[in-house]
Chains A and B, each alone.
Chain A
């Protein structure tokens, strides 16, 4: 499929035209290292914004997570996530209805990381509408444990909830920024909850940086 590349460029251009998609790097640089970016989640537009804020050569190796049941349901969605975004598909419910082998929902992510790709995670698990992000789910901790060499970069996405509120389909042009912070590393022997709270605070701290 040759269409994917120009489609990706066009999409990034539109995202920049509408939101500016400014990436601000505080304490980390846009380098081609293997990374897990984790950010607050307020809108369907979040992923596109982070993706458009990254330099072009990093976009190709940075992959989103997509729910398999939704994003493979129609040919267009499947094409968009597979060819343009190179998404990692995960199943939302464990496929153990009937005694099959219980697949770890994190396994596809681990597979991608073993492959050397970078990932973008929204550890809240769902879109939030409060001023502060919800408590983080434990996936980030598991990945940090399994891949200690992969950098964990917090990111704060600002203003995007105004671009496309829940239930609307057409985005309004409003400038947004993505602030990337210094890497957060799992300390030796650090507890799961303590680490997740620390990661969450690292994301929130970027809100006030400017």
Chain B
């Protein structure tokens, strides 16, 4: 551990990626080797899901690596693009009307870029209020000017909600990279990785728990799998991963555990809320067969992060009193 601390920040981060890519390569090799055997139908289904998840993790890791290599500008642009694609998926499945055209243009081509510019310029006070305050007022004004009262509240609320989740929430992830913490300069990559790891741990923990436990779902109409026990296990898994990774963070082990539990819980709740939303829109997954669009289903993947990132970001700021 001491030898690691001796390294420069750049070397530490590089080492982190070497370890990550190594683990992924190992997992891929094992998966490929095991795929050579005969499989039953059930095993094949499990394998297929695993392969898909593995591919998503690869994509995510490569994304983070590009974000780190290309510096603050590149990472901000990259997350901006992810936001754009996620918002596009969100808007596709909500029923907007012709009168919403200008509001949507504002969301895609003004709000989204501006939010990421504010993030990139490290204007924490500006980018945390830009959407909840200014955009919150601007969207209904533009919509009202279009002269269509039909379902007005519903339409504006949907657009605002989409922006808040996919742009505002998401933008807090690259903001972590740029956060200026005492004695922790330029190490935002670890913080972002910490967040992603604990959110993923919460998802996996919860998923594994539901498969084993077969508990009564809390809200059957929304999710057949969400139960309080499984949720607790998910948050516990996040806390455990947080504790194990606490040496990469600027927190004490106890604080790291607490933060991980909070972020993991927020992510899991986020996914739960997205499920309710998808039920409302009549699809099972954003990329599902019933979707008109053949979307890539990115929103499914990033939704937990969108919910966890702002909560985590403000927990970190609160912890350091900045």
A positions within 8 Å CB-CB of B:
20, 22, 24, 158-159, 162, 165, 168, 170, 172-177, 210
Contact = CB atoms under 8 A, between A and B. Distances in A.
Question: Most chain-B Cβ atoms within 10 A of its Cβ — which of A24, A159, A174, A175?
Answer: A175
B108 A172 contact: yes
Contacts of A159: 92, 292-293
Contacts of B292: 158-159, 175, 177, 210
Interface string B275-301: 000000000000001101111000000
A156 to B, nearest CB: 11
A172 B295 contact: no
B105 A174 contact: no
For chain B, the bracket of interface size reads: 10 to 19
Interface string B84-95: 100111011000
Given A20-B88, A158-B292, A158-B293, 16 more contacts: A20-B293, A20-B295, A159-B293, A162-B96, A165-B98, A165-B101, A170-B109, A172-B91, A173-B84, A173-B108, A174-B104, A175-B92, A175-B293, A177-B294, A210-B290, A210-B292
Contacts of A176: 293
B119 to A, nearest CB: 20
Q: Which of B84, B101, B105, B295 has the most CB of A within 10 A?
A: B101
Contact of B89 (A158, A170, A172, A175): A175
B294 A175 contact: yes
Contacts, number: 47
A174 B92 contact: yes
Contacts of A172: 91, 101, 104-105, 108
The 7 closest A-B CB pairs, nearest first, are A175-B293, A165-B98, A175-B92, A22-B294, A172-B104, A173-B88, A174-B92
Interface of B: 84, 87-89, 91-92, 96, 98, 101, 104-105, 108-109, 289-290, 292-295
Nearest to B98: A165
Contacts of A177: 292-294
Judged by DSSP, the binding face of A is loop
A159 B93 CA distance: 10
A22 B291 CA distance: 12
Nearest to A171: B105
A73 B3 CA distance: 72
B101 A174 contact: no
A24 B61 CA distance: 30
Given A20-B294, A158-B292, A210-B289, A175 B88 contact: yes
A174 to B, nearest CB: 5
Contacts of B89: 175
A69 to B, nearest CB: 28
Nearest to A173: B88
B115 to A, nearest CB: 16
A159 B94 CA distance: 12
A175 B292 CA distance: 8
Contacts of B290: 210
A168 B99 CA distance: 11
A165 B146 CA distance: 13
B276 to A, nearest CB: 22
Contacts of B105: 170, 172
A24 B293 CA distance: 10
Contact of B88 (A165, A170, A174, A210): A174
Nearest to B94: A174
Nearest to A166: B98
